[in-house]
């Protein structure tokens, strides 16, 4: 397909706990040339992960050229990776599931592919992606929440990604909603993530079954409750299972409590929720919005729309491209 002369393009990389996704977009976001996804293999080691990222980038560049672009038009690579990061130095400080410590990911990628690279937090990228081309378009103060293995978050304040004093900003999943509550993987007690991440939802479903509640969930996992996942719970809830519906309703209450906190403190105009949890649909979103209304100040509730993300699977890549634009070109 022939391109407008002079149209540049940017590569986005989303290094997630489940998938590595790499794609390329025109500078204005109007054209998606290529998008590839491969599962992240836990414990394959830093070198193997980098090799795979580089090979996926090469493939995406080749596909982009097949789509009528030229290599010279490639401005660079935006990378989104799990935190904590030292964004200024382009370093991944630690990623438990990839085994990285103080890994200079930005420089390594730039050297290996011969292009300028930027690095930002994956949850920040997902938020910026939804703001640039997805469900949060037009927002000025935007909170993104990505619910999967963990709960990540990103903040856009007055139209710019906000990183805070040491790149930690947006860790919404580690907001305490119950001061004496459940132990969280982070070591704290009562974090939102300990109630409403995918694994926490599955855990609460196992507890709700309690060994004696009739439920289709048993059948759906062949009576092996260790196979229970949040996705299976949403599916059972849609089919009317009482235990699953109760778990989804409680999830909505916990998430609604966390979001009410965000509304009262940050007063955003958009909250965009992404990740597997959006599959739960109305049985989650309706009580979630009700809980927020019940808990947050009216002017904050009235000013804010709470929406599911509209770029499932690709928000991270789109946002990685957008962070490249914001960091290198100064604007999205």
Angstrom distance (rounded) from CA 314 to CA 12 = 10
Q: Are 32 and 78 in contact (CB under 8 A)?
A: no
Helix (H, G, I), strand (E, B) or coil at 36: strand
Residue 207 as a binder of its own copies (CB under 8 A): the answer is no
Contact 280, 297 (CB under 8 A): no
Please, what is the Cα angle at 126 between 123 and 130, to 5 degrees?
A: 145
Among 39, 72, 138, 180, binds its own copies (CB under 8 A): 180
Question: Which strands form 142-147's sheet, in the order they lie side by side?
Answer: 160-162, 151-157, 142-147, 270-275, 305-308
Note whether 262 binds its own copies by CB under 8 A. Answer: yes
Q: Per rule CB under 8 A, is residue 122 in the interface with its own copies?
A: no
Figure out which of the listed residues 103, 234, 254, 324 binds its own copies, where binding follows CB under 8 A. Answer: 254
User: Which residues, 78 to 117, sit near its own copies by CB under 8 A?
Assistant: 84, 93
Pick from 265, 286, 290, 329: which binds its own copies (CB under 8 A)? 265
Residue of 179, 211, 212, 224 that binds its own copies (CB under 8 A): 179
Q: Does 1 bind its own copies (CB under 8 A)?
A: no
Q: Does 284 bind its own copies (CB under 8 A)?
A: no
Nearest to 248 by CA among 211, 271, 276, 214: 276
Question: By CB under 8 A, is residue 252 in contact with its own copies?
Answer: no
Distance, CA of 323 to CA of 328 (rounded, Å): 8
- By CB under 8 A, name the one of 64, 261, 278, 314 that touches its own copies: 261
Cα separation, 92 vs 106, whole angstroms: 9
Q: Nearest-CA neighbor of 14 among 81, 77, 64, 74?
A: 81
What are the residue ranges of helices labelled H in 71-121? 105-113
Among 26-34, 108-116, 126-134, 180-188, the segment contacting its own copies (CB under 8 A): 180-188
Shortest reach from residue 137's CB to its own copies, in Å: 15
Least distance CB 295 / its own copies (angstroms): 5
Q: How many residues bind its own copies (CB under 8 A)?
A: 52
Within residues 129-168, the interface with its own copies by CB under 8 A covers 140-141, 153, 155, 157-158, 162-168
- Among 103-111, 113-121, 221-229, 264-272, which window interacts with its own copies (CB under 8 A)? 264-272
How many whole angstroms separate alpha carbon 103 and alpha carbon 109?
11
Task: Pick the binder of its own copies from 35, 169, 242, 328 (CB under 8 A).
Answer: 169
Determine which residue in the list 22, 105, 147, 172 makes contact with its own copies, applying CB under 8 A. Answer: 172
Nearest to 127 by CA among 332, 326, 329, 318: 318
In angstroms, the first-to-last Cα distance of the chain is 25
* Beta carbon of residue 25, minimum distance to its own copies (angstroms, whole number): 28
Q: For the CA atoms of the chain, what is the radius of gyration?
A: 20
Strand partners of residue 154: 144
* Residues that bind its own copies in the complex, under the rule CB under 8 A: 84, 93, 140-141, 153, 155, 157-158, 162-172, 174-181, 186, 188-189, 253-254, 257, 260-269, 294-297, 299-300, 302-304
């Amino acid at each position: 397909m022939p391109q407008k002369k002079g149209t540049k393009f940017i590569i986005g990389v989303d290094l997630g706990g489940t998938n590595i996704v790499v794609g390329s977009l025109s500078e204005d976001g109007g054209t998606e040339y290529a998008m590839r996804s491969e599962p992240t293999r836990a414990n394959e080691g830093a070198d193997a992960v980098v090799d795979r990222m580089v090979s996926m980038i090469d493939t995406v560049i080749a596909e982009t050229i097949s789509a009528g672009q030229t290599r010279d038009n490639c401005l660079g690579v935006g990378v989104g990776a799990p935190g904590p990061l030292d964004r200024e130095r382009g370093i991944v400080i630690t990623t438990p599931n990839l085994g990285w410590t103080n890994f200079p990911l930005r420089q390594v990628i730039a050297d290996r592919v011969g292009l300028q690279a930027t690095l930002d937090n994956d949850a920040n990228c997902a938020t910026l992606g939804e703001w640039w081309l997805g469900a949060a378009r037009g927002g000025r103060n935007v909170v993104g929440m990505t619910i999967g293995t963990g709960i990540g978050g990103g903040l856009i304040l007055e139209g710019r990604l906000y990183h805070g004093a040491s790149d930690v900003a947006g860790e919404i999943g580690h907001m305490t909603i119950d001061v004496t509550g459940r132990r969280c993987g982070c070591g704290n007690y009562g974090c939102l993530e300990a109630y409403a991440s995918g694994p926490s939802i599955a855990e609460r479903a196992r507890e709700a079954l309690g060994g004696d509640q009739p439920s289709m969930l048993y059948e759906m996992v062949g009576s092996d409750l260790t196979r229970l996942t949040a996705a299976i719970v949403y599916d059972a809830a849609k089919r009317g299972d009482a235990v699953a519906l109760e778990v989804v309703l409680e999830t909505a209450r916990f998430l609604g409590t966390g979001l009410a906190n965000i509304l009262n403190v940050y007063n955003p105009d958009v909250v965009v929720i992404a990740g597997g949890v959006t599959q739960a649909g109305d049985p989650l979103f309706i009580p979630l919005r009700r809980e927020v209304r019940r808990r947050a100040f009216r002017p904050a509730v009235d000013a804010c729309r709470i929406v599911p993300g509209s770029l499932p699977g690709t928000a991270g890549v789109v946002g990685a491209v957008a962070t490249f634009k914001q960091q290198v070109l100064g604007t999205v």
